[in-house]
Amino acid sequence: MIERTARELYDKLRGVENENTNLYFEYLKKQDHGDALHLAVYSAFEKIFMK
């Protein structure tokens, strides 16, 4: 259920994307709620500061 909701949000946001926006969807299949947030934030910072 959570994956489906996240995908629906991703699809909606993808529709309003502009040239200054990068949108990613990563399904962390083997993670639970306790560690998925930290890994997602880490991944986001990698993408933001990646050169």
| Residue of higher predicted confidence among 19 and 51 | 19
How is residue 42 written in tokens? 């880490």
Question: Average pLDDT of 25-42?
Answer: 84
Q: Check residue 23 and give its pLDDT.
A: 83
Q: Check residue 45 and give its pLDDT.
A: 93
Distance CA 31, CA 45 (A): 19
pTM of model > 0.85 = no
Q: Show Cβ contacts of residue 43 under 8 Å, excluding neighbours closer than 6 positions.
A: 24, 26
